[in-house]
Structure 1
Amino acid sequence: MLRRAHRFGNWAATATKHSPWEDALGIIAGVTLTALGIAILGQLGFLTGGMAGLAFVVHYWTGWNFGLVFFVLNLPFYVLAIGRMGRAFTIKTAFAVALLSVMTAFSGDFIRFASVQPLLGACLGGLLIGFGLLALFRHRSSAGGVGILAVYLQDRFGWRAGLTQLGVDLLVLVTAFLAVSPLAVFYSVLGALVLNLFLAINHRADRYLAR
């Protein structure tokens, strides 16, 4: 029985390595928090940064399903992931992106908000997405797109993932003026600031060494 189990590798956690079960549970929890944050922002007609922000812009322009657009936009980044970050990171990220795409595609069927105050909703949505991305990063995964780039730059050059994502997110949010009102853009930028400052403070490679 033990020999058969070893054929599938070592599933035990160590002080510096998560077990596959820990990775799976951590990724599912991170994706769930991220999907909830996206649902709040979507309910208010706001956006966020990164590929999710671009998916929101396309969704608002065309009415296409957010989850499907998000999944398609992330496909090119897998080339960078598998070439620079390795097979395990790419597999876990592909799983996270697919799960997040499904959750956001059908979230309207399972959760609705009768009333959300815009300021609170922007901050809470950004914070939930920040917690979700932090969980993914700490399990050597990401929500795709800019997250892949941010993790690579932090590993390669020591640039903080949160600050990298903040810069890209602000550029993405500039395009939001083409899809939503200036007030919605303001709240979207506020949510992005909450999200990325949370990551910049909490996601540091020297503070969390598990892989």
Structure 2
Amino acid sequence: MNALHAAPRHSAFDDLQALVTGTLFVAMALVLFRHAGLLTGGTAGIAFVLHYATGLPFGAGFFLVNLPFYLLAWRRMGRRFTLKTFAAVALLSALAELLPHWLVLQAVQPLFAALGGGLLMGAGLLILFRHHASLGGLNVLALWLQERRGWRAGHVQMAVDLAVLLAAAPWVGPLQLLLSVLGALALNLALAVNHKPGRYAAV
């Protein structure tokens, strides 16, 4: 490939600011979801279920649930992707517990929490994906299928998220479940529209 047409490479500073910004967006979305009693999909959704069902802090549950997926990431996506993903997961685990102390909400309209939180989370994931990182777990599978099979990450993520939300039904009311599904649709719409194979070339 001609060097002029080679994909530009992100600098270490580029990746650092992306990890901080992307995880902060997602952490803010999780604060909205938690305040409204909503769920999300993926490993974050599994961590929410653990939190609601057992009282395990979300941050600790999210970090633990992601541990088995690092082997897949290392084998399929490479060392650089895995290390950045591990850093993003660790940072989000910390922010998810610290941010509610730094950002105290009086009230959140549940529909806004679902749609606004879903779009915020989608934007945060998009930033991470474009810097060859993720929030672990099922994000890794979605990205791997996009790179290997050409399947849009947003579509794969949407199917997985809906499955996780349906599995979480015993721990939330019907309205919270419906709003959680709307949040997942908003999140994955942002990914499906903005994260298409070949659209973003930097690595």
Alignment correspondent of 1:75: 67
Using the TM superposition, give the Cα deviation of residue 21 of structure 1 relative to its aligned residue in structure 2, in angstroms.
0.9
Q: 1:106 offset after TM fit, Å?
A: 2.0
RMSD: 1.0
1:30 to 22, 31, 37: 22
- Provide the C-alpha distance between the structure 2 equivalents of 1:28 and 1:127, rounded to a whole number of angstroms: 17
Counterpart for residue 13 of structure 2: 21
Which residue of 56, 79, 85 maps to 1:87? Answer: 79
What does residue 193 of structure 1 align with? 185
> Which amino acid counterpart does residue 204 of structure 1 have in structure 2?
K
Report deviation, 1:206: 1.3
C-alpha separation between the residues in 1 aligned to 2:70 and 2:170?
Answer: 28
Q: Which residue, 133, 148, 151 being the options, matches 1:141?
A: 133
SS at structure 1 position matched to 2:168: helix
AA of the residue aligned to 1:185: L
Q: CA deviation at 1:120?
A: 1.1
Measure the CA separation in 1 of the matches of 2:141 and 2:47.
17
Structure whose alpha-carbon radius of gyration is higher: 1
Q: Which of residues 92, 113, 117 is equivalent to 1:125?
A: 117
Could you tell me how far apart the structure 1 residues matched to 2:20 and 2:196 are? 21
Paired AA for residue 20 in structure 1:
A
CA distance in 1, matches of 2:65, 2:56: 13
State the shift of 1:15 in Å. 5.5
Structure 1 position 115, deviation (Å): 1.2
After superposition, give the CA deviation of every residue in 1:142-176 in whole Å (9 maximum; x if it has no partner): 01111111111100100100000000000000022
Q: Mind listing any 5+ residue stretches in structure 1 that lack a counterpart?
A: 1-13
Using the size of structure 2 for normalisation, the TM-score is: 0.95
Which amino acid is the alignment partner of residue 81 of structure 1?
Answer: A
Q: Does 1:161 align with 2:140?
A: no
| Counterpart amino acid of residue 24 in structure 1 | L
Deviation of 1:50 (Å)? 0.3
Structure 2: segments with no counterpart, 5+ residues: 1-5
Cα distance per residue 1:70-106 (max 9 Å; x no partner)? 0000000000000010000000000000000000022
**Could you tell me how far apart the structure 2 residues matched to 1:72 and 1:174 are?**
22
Aligned residues: 198
1:205 Cα offset (Å): 2.7
- C-alpha distance in structure 1 between counterparts of 2:95 and 2:70, whole Å: 20
**What do residues 173-193 of structure 1 show as CA deviations (whole Å, max 9, x unaligned)?**
002211111110000000000
2: CA distance, partners of 1:124 / 1:192? 11
Output the CA distance in 2 between the equivalents of 1:106 and 1:133: 20
Q: Percent identity?
A: 51
Counterpart amino acid of residue 48 in structure 1 = T
Partner amino acid, structure 1, of 2:172: V
CA distance in 2, matches of 1:156, 1:150: 10
Amino acid aligned to 1:176: A
